[in-house]
Amino acid sequence: MVSTTLNTVTEEASKAPAILIENLGKSFNFGRIKVLDDVSLRVADGDIFALIGPNGAGKTTLMGCMLALLRPSRGRIRIFGKPPDHIDVRRVTGFLPERPSFENWMNPREFLTFHQMLAGRSSDQAAKKEIDDALAAVELENVARRQIAKFSRGMLQRLGLAQVLIGKPKLCFLDEPTSGMDPPGMEMVRNILKRFRKDGVTVVINSHHLDEIERVCTRFAFIRKGKIETEEAISTLNRKLLIAKWPEEEKPDIDLLTRVLTECGVTLADQNDGYAKILLTNRHDGPKVIERLVQSGIRLDEVFFDRRSLSELFRPAVQQQSTQTSAAIKEENEQ
């Protein structure tokens, strides 16, 4: 039964993107709090796709909608051509939440066996080998009989990843998979993602570790205030970063700068007193963007393309908005 489903899903995936999201919106509190706003996204089969952005940007909510854990307020999601809550989709999907929870009185082997039973899998030698392989992949084979209650945060993350591996999923959602991990643990996650990529597994990751994302992911989307501002292949990122510098005494109005760039369909990735980092949709859009900035009254001294890492480009935007969000929450709690 499961084998037939896998074949069906794989055949559909060859004809359509693994994930298709169209004009998705999600609001809470009877529509008064808008978390996702007109989000459209395509994730190709076999992509290792990252969602990046500041805290409160809507990344976890978007993942929840893709998992059918949340119902969208509007728009449409298709996973391998089917609704996300379709049984065929659920059978081939793995999910690691940011803070996984377990039956603490069990040990890892018992927990994974229990998970296999819930999934309707047999308890034969093949199933036992699958558990052995999963424990080895996350380097927990030496503590397979230890009670889960005694595990550290990083070990719980490893066990959550082992659970994801059970059943050989075609699609995985990983929410902060390296949370609580030490450097060897992060290396282990990296190896699993490389294995997924080799096997053609589609992965969606929500993570703040931008350096790790650049090392293992194929594409990313930058989300801010519920909107996708940029969707880009990691391999082409460095060829589309435009640096625009202005005279020190003539700093432009930031609202004007942002509005002009938005009208041009490009993203203001970062700015300070002397320059702006602009992420273009296409490198050839550079002259048009420069012309519009000058026409709007912004004086430029120097413009050039630069090569920067994902971390260098987006960390300032992520940290700035995250700080603002934390300050707003603190202020609200004090009132």
Q: Report, as an integer, the average pLDDT of 46-66.
A: 94
Is the confidence at residue 251, as pLDDT, over 70?
Answer: yes
Q: Is residue 233 a part of any domain in this protein?
A: no
Are 6 and 105 found together in one domain? yes
Tokens linked to 316: 């300032």
From 189, 224, 259, give the residue that closes a domain: 224
User: Length of the chain in residues, anyone?
Assistant: 335
- The answer to whether residue 13 is domain-embedded is yes
By DSSP bridging, strand 302-305 and strand 241-245 are antiparallel
Does residue 203 register a pLDDT over 70? yes
Phi, psi of 170, rounded to the nearest 5 degrees: -95, -15
CATH number for the domain spanning 14: value is 3.40.50.300
Q: Same structural domain for residues 8 and 111?
A: yes
Q: Which of 121-130, 144-153, 310-319, 320-329 has the highest mean pLDDT?
A: 144-153
Q: What pLDDT band is residue 317 in, cutting at 50, 70 and 90?
A: low
Q: Are residues 145 and 250 in the same domain?
A: no
- Would you say residue 234 lies in a domain? no
Farthest-apart Cα atoms in the chain, separation: 74
Contact call for residues 51 and 217 (beta carbons, < 8 A) = no
Beta strands 74-79 and 171-175: pairing type?
A: unpaired
Helix (H, G, I), strand (E, B) or coil at 206: strand
**Does pTM top 0.85 for this prediction?**
no
Which pLDDT score is estimated for 1?
38
Same domain assignment for residues 244 and 211: no
Q: What is the pLDDT of residue 320?
A: 55
| Helix, strand, or coil (residue 319) | helix
Model confidence at 180: pLDDT above 80: yes
Rounded to whole angstroms, the Cα distance separating 61 from 71 reads 10
Domain boundaries, position 79: 2-224
**100 and 168, same structural domain?**
yes
Query: Do 105 and 216 share a domain, yes or no?
Result: yes
Kindly report, residue by residue over 101-142, the tens digit of the pLDDT.
Answer: 888 899 999 999 988 887 776 667 788 899 999 999 999 999
Residue type, 87: I
Return the pLDDT at 334.
44
Chosen domain end from 193, 224, 255: 224
The whole-angstrom separation of Cα 36 and Cα 61 is 8
Do the Cβ atoms of 23 and 9 come closer than 8 Å? no
Strands (E), the chain: 19-28, 33-43, 48-52, 74-79, 93-96, 171-175, 202-206, 219-224, 227-233, 241-245, 267-271, 275-279, 302-305
| 19-28, 259-268, 304-313, range with greatest mean pLDDT | 19-28
> In terms of domains, do 44 and 94 share one?
yes
What's the CA gap between 276 and 291, in Å, rounded?
15
Last residue of a domain, one of 224, 251, 286: 224
Please check whether residues 195 and 262 belong to one and the same domain. no
Q: Please tell me the predicted confidence (pLDDT) of residue 8.
A: 45
Closest among 232, 226, 223, 295 to 259, alpha carbons compared: 295
* Domain presence at residue 115: yes
Each residue's pLDDT tens digit, 206-236: 988 888 888 899 999 999 889 998 888 887 7
60 with 180, same domain: the answer is yes
231 is a domain residue: no
Identify whether the C-beta of residue 213 lies closer than 8 Å to the C-beta of residue 135.
no
pLDDT attached to residue 306? 73
The pLDDT of residue 39 is above 70 = yes
Average pLDDT of span 189-209: 93
Residues 169 and 263 both lie in one domain: no
Overall number of domains in the chain: 2
Name the helix (H) or strand (E) containing 188: helix 183-199
| pLDDT score at 326 | 42
Mean pLDDT value of segment 4-31: 72
Average pLDDT of the chain to the nearest whole number: 85
End-to-end Cα, the chain, rounded Å: 56
220/293 same-domain check: no
Residues 98 and 17 in one domain: yes
